[in-house]
């Protein structure tokens, strides 16, 4: 099957490639973050095909997510363009755009392209009215639950609201079905900001307002943090959450140590892999619950957080044309069709009959992705997020009261942003 | 009775001694041995429960082979990193030995003003943390490259081996001078004086008499330099970007990712990357210990 | 050898021999440090095509000393790391040296293999311990604890976690929290100690071997216990080498970066990590430079003490 898809892909791309003029000795360097989504060998496969079709040589470099930002920045500031194309995490859009590190892609994109990508995805890469990256990977958080545990506790379906979920968790705990029904990745890293953003969404709001001013210390933002603290205080959330990163939280869940968790799309694959998972069959994926008061506010009654990646072109690249061709190729619908383990960014692919037969849960994914909340789009994002992580974490560990922590975080963030 | 008691006591102290020795050996070797064994695990077994599986059931050399397989992505990167590390550490060693020996000789033998101040500042400079110099380096190298590009030069510093060689040399040079000076001080001046009476110039005396006598010192210093250059991480992380210049530490630090713990690769490549320094250290350990003591305790 | 060239004077020769080294060091170390000092009076950040700078006087320094809570917490946690590591390294190093100074079968073998951790590259060391400390059932240390029945079979400790050690003891717990100690930091100290202790051991061992046996024989006749022999004879004699180790290690420990960055990224902010984060992640070149300069100055201060110690030993 996989071979067949590849052949189809090749034929399709051969046709497309009529547009490419084979330029000998053209070369582009690409830096990509190694993570759960496309694996290095898959990215290499795409690049190999591209090389063959276009005659443009592609050098790939993979780095850990944590290093990608520094690598790209130092390359962008240097007068020597080391990279032409890089994978841009949506949280860097404002920073890179405001400093002019990457090129606006609006002139390259045809209107048809823009129409076929959902606004929820495209907006993540828009800053100052321009688009700075071509959406490549649509990552977002989903709800994972262990249906066996829920049924054992005497309920028959997954919770729709946070209140229902707490009720189910208390029952699960009381009956001794598992010690800590909730697990999550609340360690003091970017993952914590993500969890906080979707929970704020689940309480009906955003962390920052439309003018990029912090508003998280009152209303939904405060409720979200109080909710997290409450889960820990009632011992519904595993204390290991405080040190878990995303794979560790997944490991907790697939080892059958928790009934509920929220995590990125990658957990679906591991959950159903019998070689590592103990919850095959019991582990289910669904829409993240929202607070009871928020029901009816969102189209699908769910809230999530976005973790999109785009392919962007560095401003000091000497090969912008070739770079764009590569970007266009790896983000094309035809490539995304071949790798349906990842959520495609193209509406036409998401809704195609083919995708529906290949991916039984694409419906859930499509609803969740339409309900994402973005992390704040502000130029000094790394510093802002670092402050948020620090204060949220000190509230979770009981060193500060939620309200005091968020107030303090707000003051520091405003100082950094010069508000 | 007394003799028996004394003998008893001696036995017990022997046993305690051997227990302690075994503890030291286990403490020293266990972590590294575990690293090697981990490299032999297939991934699925690697992430199974440790209480039952300390040794792989189906040991595989896959992880090791992958690093040397030039047709794979891993192989290309690892081999490039290995090559770069060898070139960089080798060049740094040679350059440091040449300049360092000359300077050390002057500081050990000749009389001139400010000598003590120079000695002091050399060793102090070696202690400045590289992390504190990353920002200025970054800006300065950026500026150089900017003008090089304006001048249409093909050469630039960023992402090149030469850049790292220059930076490493400066950090290690002070240290080399310091140790070599210690060695020169241990060589009696009479030999040189005798040679000079026989009509040798100072330079000839240095080459014919002093250098051969300080060969052990040169070897030890050379190995130190090599190890320091092989080990460096901060500067390499900031200034290398592609297979042009990435070094072994950068390669190993970058393995794995946000969602994947590539511990099989880490174990295998970590083991291979430690072989050159470990072999060097074990072969030349006599020299090294001498150098360690000379370099840090004697002036 | 008919005509012998006139020999250069001592000063000239010294100048020629030293010049290359001094030039290299001046240009590449002192220059940047001065530049960092200059830059620390600016608000500087990279933009495309260059660096934007704005003179702001000593605001950066004021920021660190008065406004920034992270700076002082970085100083505290670095001090904790340095002091605890030093104590463990010295105790472990001296004990190992005393054992290896005794005669036993296979002594030269043991003496040579203890070099192994020291020769291991720092990055490999960091990632090796990261793997040993893995906080799941596949982590080697968790496995070991279970095999030894220290942990129950279903418990997996997160070794690189942030729980504060001794948290439940009043005063000490508060102190630990204030310093920024955590299980993760303690485990990193252990990993770093594993790598560096051989150096201490070898230095102490080399010193021990120079002591004449007659010293101990006299004490043995007097009937002094081994403990008092160690306390009254060995330790005073080891003073010079211990002083050297102390100063040398203080410098190296205070500037720690690699192992903490690789294992914890920015979540344990020692001074080195904080400098790097400010400069290379947040791209505050001006503030980062101020921090760099402070760190450089501090280490330079200890380095000068070190050199003075060495000089006084020499003469």
CATH number of the domain residue A287 falls in: 3.40.190.10
Max mean pLDDT range (A37-46, B66-75, C200-209): C200-209
- Whether B258 shows a pLDDT value over 60: the answer reads no
Q: What are the tens digits of pLDDT across the range B230-249?
A: 999 999 998 888 888 999 99
Taking alpha carbons only, the member of A258, A288, A262, A263 closest to residue A364 is A288
Q: Where are the alpha helices (DSSP H) in chain B?
A: 2-40, 43-46, 62-68, 73-109, 115-127, 130-150, 161-186, 189-197, 202-205, 211-213, 215-231, 234-239, 248-253, 263-283, 285-297
* A155 in the same domain as A218: yes
- Whether B297 shows a pLDDT value over 70: the answer reads no
**Domain membership flag for residue A286:** yes
In angstroms, rounded to a whole number, what is the distance separating the alpha carbons of residues C151 and A127?
A: 52
Task: Indicate if the alpha-carbon torsion angle A159, A161, A166, A171 is positive or negative.
Answer: negative
* A405 in the same domain as A340: no
* A192 in the same domain as A98: no
> Domain ranges in chain B?
72-297
**Domain membership flag for residue A398:** yes
* A34 in the same domain as A108: yes
Least CA distance to B150: which residue of chain A?
A79
* A233 in the same domain as A127: no
Contacts (Cβ under 8 Å, ≥6 apart) of B184: B104, B105, B108, B109, B210, B214, B217
Contact present, C282 and B273 (Cβ < 8 Å): no
In angstroms, rounded to a whole number, what is the distance separating the alpha carbons of residues A248 and A232?
A: 17
User: Six-digit token pair at C106?
Assistant: 């296979």
Q: What is the pLDDT of residue C283?
A: 87
What is the nearest CA distance from A212 to chain C, expressed in angstroms?
19
Task: Write out residues 144-173 of C within 8 Å (CB-CB) of B.
Answer: 144, 146-147, 153
Interface contact C160-A66, CB threshold 8 A:
no
Helix axes B115-127, B161-186, angle to 10 degrees: 130
CA dist list (Å): C300 to B6, C247, C285, C296: 54, 12, 21, 6
User: Six-digit token pair at A205?
Assistant: 């709001």
In angstroms, rounded to a whole number, what is the distance separating the alpha carbons of residues C12 and B90?
A: 31
Taking alpha carbons only, the member of B289, B288, B248, B286 closest to residue B269 is B248
Task: Write out residues 90-109 of C within 8 Å (CB-CB) of B.
Answer: 96, 99-100, 102, 104, 106
Beta strand residue intervals within A265-345, DSSP E? 283-286, 304-305, 309-313
Q: What is the pLDDT of residue B122?
A: 76
Burial class for B212, CB neighbours closer than 10 Å (0-12, 13-18, 19+): exposed
**Average pLDDT by consecutive 10-residue portion of chain A (419 residues)?**
55 45 64 74 87 90 80 81 89 91 91 87 91 91 95 93 95 92 91 95 93 92 96 92 85 90 90 85 94 91 93 90 93 87 86 85 90 92 92 90 95 88
> How many Å from the N-terminal Cα to the C-terminal Cα in chain C?
41
Which structural domain range is residue C82 located in? Answer: 71-269+291-314
- Whether B44 shows a pLDDT value over 90: the answer reads no
**Domain membership flag for residue C3:** no
**Domain membership flag for residue A95:** yes
- Whether C306 shows a pLDDT value over 90: the answer reads no
In angstroms, rounded to a whole number, what is the distance separating the alpha carbons of residues A60 and A49?
A: 13
Q: Report percent pLDDT > 70 for chain C.
A: 93
**Domain membership flag for residue C308:** yes
* A186 in the same domain as A320: no
Interface contact B237-A60, CB threshold 8 A:
no
**Domain membership flag for residue C65:** no
How many CB atoms neighbour CB B283 within 10 A? Answer: 13
Q: What are the tens digits of pLDDT across the range A121-173?
A: 898 999 999 999 999 888 899 999 999 999 999 999 999 999 999 999 999 99
What is the nearest CA distance from C114 to chain B, expressed in angstroms?
6
Cα B107 to the center of its chain, rounded Å: 25
Task: Write out residues 85-104 of B within 8 Å (CB-CB) of C.
Answer: 99-100, 102-103
What is the nearest CA distance from A358 to chain B, expressed in angstroms?
24
* A211 in the same domain as A74: no
H or E element that contains C21: helix C10-25
Beta strand residue intervals within A8-81, DSSP E? 26-34, 56-64
More confident: B124 or A401: A401
Q: Report percent pLDDT > 90 for chain B.
A: 32
- Find the CB nearest C241 among B130, B277, B297: B297
Which of A97, A100, A239, A243 is the best residue to mutate to test the C interface, defined by the most C CB atoms within 10 Å of its own CB?
A243
More confident: B291 or C281: C281
ipTM score for this prediction: 0.91
Taking alpha carbons only, the member of A307, A351, A373, A312 closest to residue A139 is A307
Model confidence band, residue C7 (pLDDT cutoffs 50, 70, 90) = low
* A361 in the same domain as A316: yes
Contact present, C296 and C36 (Cβ < 8 Å): yes
**Domain membership flag for residue C43:** no
Structurally, chain C folds into a number of domains equal to 1
Q: For C267, phi and psi rounded to 5 degrees?
A: -85, -15
Burial class for C46, CB neighbours closer than 10 Å (0-12, 13-18, 19+): buried
Mean pLDDT of all residues belonging to chain C: 86
Which structural domain range is residue A213 located in? Answer: 141-305+380-417
Q: What's the whole-number mean pLDDT along residues C25-38?
A: 84
Least CA distance to B164: which residue of chain C?
C28
What string of DSSP letters covers A84-107? SEEEEEGGGHHHHHHHT-B---TT
* A179 in the same domain as A93: no
Model confidence band, residue B212 (pLDDT cutoffs 50, 70, 90) = confident
Name chain B contacts of C255, Cβ cutoff 8 Å: 129, 131-132
CA atoms within a 13 Å half-sphere pointing along the CA-CB vector of A407: 5
Interface contact C282-A100, CB threshold 8 A:
no
- Whether B284 shows a pLDDT value over 90: the answer reads no
Q: What's the whole-number mean pLDDT along residues B69-86?
A: 88
- Whether B268 shows a pLDDT value over 90: the answer reads yes
* A389 in the same domain as A288: yes
Q: Where are the alpha helices (DSSP H) in A17-61?
A: 40-54
Structurally, chain A folds into a number of domains equal to 2
In angstroms, rounded to a whole number, what is the distance separating the alpha carbons of residues C110 and C54?
A: 59
Model confidence band, residue B115 (pLDDT cutoffs 50, 70, 90) = confident
**Domain membership flag for residue C63:** no
Name chain A contacts of B261, Cβ cutoff 8 Å: 247
- Find the CB nearest C128 among B21, B130, B270: B270
* A296 in the same domain as A180: yes
Task: Write out residues 134-173 of C within 8 Å (CB-CB) of A.
Answer: 135-136, 158, 160-162
Q: Kindly give the pairing relationship between strand A26-34 and strand A85-89.
A: parallel
Which of A30, A64, A270 is the best residue to mutate to test the B interface, defined by the most B CB atoms within 10 Å of its own CB?
A64
In angstroms, rounded to a whole number, what is the distance separating the alpha carbons of residues B230 and B27?
A: 24
Q: What is the pLDDT of residue A263?
A: 94
In angstroms, rounded to a whole number, what is the distance separating the alpha carbons of residues A241 and A196?
A: 13
Q: What is the pLDDT of residue B299?
A: 35
* A92 in the same domain as A62: yes
**Domain membership flag for residue C50:** no
In angstroms, rounded to a whole number, what is the distance separating the alpha carbons of residues C56 and A144?
A: 51
- Find the CB nearest A247 among B138, B149, B259: B259
User: Six-digit token pair at A65?
Assistant: 């997510």
The CATH class that applies to domain B72-297 reads: mainly alpha
**Domain membership flag for residue C240:** yes
Q: What is the pLDDT of residue A150?
A: 95
Interface contact B140-C35, CB threshold 8 A:
yes
Contact present, C235 and B287 (Cβ < 8 Å): no
Q: What is the pLDDT of residue A160?
A: 93
Q: What is the pLDDT of residue C4?
A: 46
**Domain membership flag for residue A375:** no
Q: What is the pLDDT of residue B257?
A: 61
**Domain membership flag for residue C235:** yes
Q: What are the tens digits of pLDDT across the range C211-232?
A: 877 777 776 666 667 788 888 8
Here the CATH number for the domain that contains residue C258 is 1.10.3720.10
């Amino acid at each position: 099957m996989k071979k067949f898809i590849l052949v189809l892909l090749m034929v399709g791309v051969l046709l497309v490639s009529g547009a490419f003029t084979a330029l000998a000795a053209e070369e582009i360097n690409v830096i990509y973050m190694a993570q759960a989504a496309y694996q290095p060998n898959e990215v290499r496969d795409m690049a190999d095909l591209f090389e063959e079709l276009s005659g443009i040589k592609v050098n790939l470099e993979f780095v850990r997510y944590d290093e990608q930002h520094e690598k790209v920045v130092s390359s962008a500031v240097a007068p020597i363009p080391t990279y032409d194309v890089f994978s841009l995490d949506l949280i860097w859009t404002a920073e890179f755009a405001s400093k002019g590190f990457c090129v606006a892609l609006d002139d390259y994109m045809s209107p048809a392209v823009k129409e076929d990508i959902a606004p929820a995805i495209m907006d993540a890469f828009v800053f100052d009215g321009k688009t700075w990256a071509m959406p490549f990977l649509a990552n977002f958080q989903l709800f994972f639950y262990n249906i066996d545990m829920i049924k054992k506790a005497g309920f028959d379906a997954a919770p729709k609201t946070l209140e229902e979920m707490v009720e189910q968790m208390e029952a699960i705990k009381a009956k001794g079905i598992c010690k800590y029904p909730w697990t999550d990745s609340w360690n003091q890293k970017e993952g914590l900001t993500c969890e906080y953003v979707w929970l704020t969404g689940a309480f009906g709001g955003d962390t920052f307002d439309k003018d990029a001013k912090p508003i998280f210390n009152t209303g939904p933002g405060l409720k979200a943090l109080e909710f997290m603290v409450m889960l820990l205080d009632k011992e519904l959330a595993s204390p290991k959450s405080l040190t878990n990163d995303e794979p560790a939280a997944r490991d907790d869940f697939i080892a059958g140590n928790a009934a509920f968790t929220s995590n990125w799309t990658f957990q679906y694959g591991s959950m159903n892999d019998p070689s590592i998972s103990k919850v095959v069959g019991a582990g289910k994926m669904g829409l993240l619950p929202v607070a009871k008061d928020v029901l009816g506010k969102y189209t699908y009654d769910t809230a999530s957080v976005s973790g999109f990646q785009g392919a962007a072109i560095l401003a000091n690249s000497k090969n912008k044309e070739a770079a764009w061709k590569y970007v266009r190729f790896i983000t094309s619908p035809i490539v995304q069709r071949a790798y349906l383990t990842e959520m495609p960014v193209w509406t036409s692919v998401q809704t195609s009959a083919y995708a529906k037969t290949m991916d039984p849960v694409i419906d859930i994914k499509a609803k969740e992705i339409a309900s994402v909340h973005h992390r704040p789009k502000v130029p000094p994002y790394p510093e802002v997020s670092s402050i948020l992580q620090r204060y949220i974490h000190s509230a979770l560990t009981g060193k500060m009261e939620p309200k005091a922590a968020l107030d303090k975080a707000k003051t520091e963030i405003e100082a950094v942003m010069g508000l | 009775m007394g003799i028996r008691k004394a003998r008893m006591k001696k036995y017990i102290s022997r046993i305690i001694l051997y227990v302690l020795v075994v503890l030291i050996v286990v403490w020293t070797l266990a972590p590294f041995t575990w690293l090697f064994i981990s490299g032999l695990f297939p991934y699925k077994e690697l992430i199974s429960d440790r209480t039952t599986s300390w040794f792989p059931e189906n040991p595989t050399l896959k992880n090791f082979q992958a690093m040397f397989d030039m047709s794979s992505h891993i192989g290309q990167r690892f081999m490039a990193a290995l090559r770069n590390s060898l070139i960089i550490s080798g060049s740094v060693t040679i350059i440091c030995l040449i300049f360092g020996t000359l300077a050390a000789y002057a500081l050990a033998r000749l009389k001139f003003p400010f000598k003590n101040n120079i000695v002091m500042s050399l060793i102090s400079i070696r202690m400045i943390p590289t992390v504190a110099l990353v920002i200025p380096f970054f800006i300065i190298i950026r500026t150089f490259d900017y003008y090089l590009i304006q001048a249409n030069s093909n050469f630039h510093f960023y992402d090149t081996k030469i850049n790292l060689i220059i930076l490493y040399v400066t950090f290690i040079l002070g240290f080399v001078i310091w140790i070599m000076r210690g060695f020169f001080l241990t060589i009696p001046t009479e030999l040189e004086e005798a040679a000079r009476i026989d009509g040798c110039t100072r330079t000839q005396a240095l080459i014919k008499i002093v250098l051969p006598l300080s060969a052990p010192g040169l070897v030890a210093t050379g190995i130190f330099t090599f190890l320091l250059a092989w080990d460096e991480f901060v500067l390499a992380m900031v200034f290398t970007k592609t297979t042009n210049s990435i070094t072994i530490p950068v390669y190993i630090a970058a393995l794995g990712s946000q969602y994947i713990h590539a511990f099989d690769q880490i174990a295998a490549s970590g083991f291979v990357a430690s072989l050159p320094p470990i072999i060097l250290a074990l072969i030349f350990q006599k020299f090294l210990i001498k150098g360690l003591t000379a370099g840090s305790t004697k002036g | 050898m008919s005509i012998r060239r006139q020999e250069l004077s001592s000063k000239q020769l010294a100048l020629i021999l030293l010049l290359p080294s001094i030039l290299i060091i001046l240009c590449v170390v002192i220059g940047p440090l001065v530049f960092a000092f200059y830059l620390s009076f600016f608000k500087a950040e990279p933009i495309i095509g260059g660096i934007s700078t704005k003179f702001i006087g000593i605001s950066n320094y004021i920021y660190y000393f008065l406004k920034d809570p992270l700076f002082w917490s970085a100083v505290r946690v670095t001090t904790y790391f340095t002091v605890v590591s030093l104590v463990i390294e010295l105790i472990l190093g001296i004990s190992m040296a005393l054992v290896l100074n005794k005669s036993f079968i296979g002594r030269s073998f043991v003496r040579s293999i203890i070099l192994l951790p020291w020769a291991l590259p720092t990055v490999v060391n960091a990632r090796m311990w990261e793997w040993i400390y893995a906080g799941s059932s596949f982590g080697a240390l968790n496995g070991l604890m279970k095999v030894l029945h220290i942990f129950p079979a279903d418990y997996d400790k997160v070794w690189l976690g942030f729980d504060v050690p001794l948290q439940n003891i009043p005063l000490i717990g508060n102190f630990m929290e204030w310093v920024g100690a955590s299980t993760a930091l303690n485990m990193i100290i252990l990993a770093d100690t594993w790598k560096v202790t051989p150096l201490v051991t070898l230095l102490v061992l080399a010193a021990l071997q120079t002591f004449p046996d007659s010293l101990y024989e006299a004490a043995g006749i007097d009937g002094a216990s081994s403990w008092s022999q160690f306390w009254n004879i060995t330790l005073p004699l080891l003073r010079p080498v211990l002083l050297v180790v102390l100063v040398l290690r203080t410098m190296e420990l205070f500037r720690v970066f690699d192992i903490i960055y690789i294992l914890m990224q920015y979540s344990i902010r020692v001074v080195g990590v904080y400098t790097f984060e400010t400069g290379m992640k947040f791209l505050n070149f001006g503030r980062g430079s101020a921090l760099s300069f402070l760190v450089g100055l501090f280490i330079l201060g200890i380095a000068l003490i070190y050199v003075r110690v060495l000089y006084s030993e020499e003469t």
